[in-house]
Amino acid sequence: RLCSGWVHNPTICHRVVAEHLDGFKLPPGVLISHYIDDIMVQGETQEVVSAVLPRLIEHMKAHGWEINPAKVQGPSQLKFLGIMWNKGEREIVQKARDKIIAFAVPHTKKDVQKFICLFGYWRNHIPHLGQILQPMYQVTRKKEEFTWGESQQRVFELAKEAIQQAVSLGKMMSGPVELQVSAVNDYANWSLWQKQGRVRKPLGF
């Protein structure tokens, strides 16, 4: 048992859970991800995951862990690390979209920085986001005076449209992946794709 409130508790807990999960034998096609004491099980079908879950629970209980049934999510959709997972694909949570859409027009450099930071992890879901936001990055430069005109407002609105059109990202499976790179003026864009069955799925932008 760890002392309550100790700063290193999360790190120690994450390592111990990882060690105990290493001893669990997974069937082919099943993937386990974890962060501290949160565990996510993914598989090709609900039946496969349902067969693994009871075994995993017993395995962790044998190592002294307790499972709270009220916190079990799924089977097809769950929230893990602030990300919505829907049938194995990562989606932007609606709360994150709404926060960006509702952001007021910036009046200072700090406001612009806050708006850019809201995209955070979600930038992987939006093609060419870095290029879209480039004019806003220029506004935040220390040597530049803060100015907000038609061009900045247009980019601000375009970024809000982009978050509404963000795509779901597939999980990387075994097999080849396709990296696409393009250059426009001084900016390079990339996207990662993988053909899974008959469908070509995006893995990141």
CA dihedral sign of residues 149, 155, 158, 164: negative
pLDDT at 3: 62
How large is the C-alpha radius of gyration of the chain?
21
pTM (2 decimals)?
0.72
Q: Inform me whether the pLDDT recorded for 7 exceeds 90.
A: no
Q: Is the pLDDT of residue 5 over 80?
A: no
pLDDT in tens, 149-175: 999 999 999 999 999 999 899 888 888
Query: How confident is the model at residue 2, as a pLDDT?
Result: 63
Whether the pLDDT of residue 6 is over 80: the answer is no
Amino acid sitting at position 20 = H
Count of Cβ atoms closer than 10 Å to residue 163 Cβ: 21
Q: Is the pLDDT assigned to residue 192 strictly greater than 90?
A: yes
Q: At what angle do helices 109-119 and 94-101 cross, to 10 degrees?
A: 160
DSSP secondary structure string, the chain? -PPTT-TTHHHHHHHHHHHHHHTSPPPTT-EEEEETTEEEEE-SSHHHHHHHHHHHHHHHHHTT----GGG---SSEEEETTEEEETTEEE--HHHHHHHHTPPPP-SHHHHHHHHHHHGGGGGGSTTHHHHHHHHHHHT-TTSPP---HHHHHHHHHHHHHHHTPPPBPPPPSS--EEEEEEETTEEEEEEEEEETTEEEEEE-
